[in-house]
Amino acid sequence: MTDTSELVAQLADRVQLLEDKLAIMHIISAYGPAVDSGSAEAVAGLWTEDGVYDVDTGSMSGRAEIESMVRSSNHQSYIHGGCAHLVGPPHIAIDGDTAVATCHSQLVLRDTETGVNRVARITANRWEFARRNGEWKVTLRTNRLLDGRADARDILASGVTATV
């Protein structure tokens, strides 16, 4: 190859990596708006068909179970009373066709009687991704409450000690 075509090939790889990182951000930034609007299919569609959403109180496997969570009376009472699932800027590590993103999330809930908002939960998030047919999807999201439990700290540590 000529020098130019070699340089172009290297640039193409670098641009692809940048696109991958923004694609991961794009997925994570969709979660809050989708779940707080009750857009059950949009939420579930962030995951692979067999993707898993593992939270402290249990684990949802596959899109149908994730959609059911969004449609549950519990979640519907949140969004009709006022809530915000706030997901922070992710720390992203990409390795070929898989990726891991680590961040915090907050759940702010409005008390429907008093109108007062409270930070109901602070949570450690680990998002695992795979590229399937050229598109990134969540394969596993693991959330653990930041209430002092060790596994929440483990989630945060694993996301930053491997890549710093």
Q: Which residue in this structure is represented by tokens 């409450």? A: 145
Distance between CA atoms of residues 40 and 42, nearest Å: 5
Can residue 42 be called a binding residue for a copy of itself (CB under 8 A)? Answer: yes
Stretch in the footprint of a copy of itself (CB under 8 A) among 37-45, 49-57, 61-69: 37-45
Q: According to CB under 8 A, which one of 18, 49, 64, 71 is a site residue for a copy of itself?
A: 18
Can residue 69 be called a binding residue for a copy of itself (CB under 8 A)? Answer: no
Please name which of 36, 43, 31, 37 lies closest in space to residue 67, comparing C-alpha atoms. 43
123-162 positions binding a copy of itself, by CB under 8 A:
124, 145-148, 153-157, 159-161
Report the run of H or E that residue 126 belongs to, with start and end.
Answer: strand 117-132
Residue 121 makes CB contacts below 8 A (sequence gap 6+) with 105, 106, 107, 145
State the minimum distance, in angstroms, from the CB of residue 154 to a copy of itself: 7
Can residue 36 be called a binding residue for a copy of itself (CB under 8 A)? Answer: yes
Can residue 37 be called a binding residue for a copy of itself (CB under 8 A)? Answer: yes
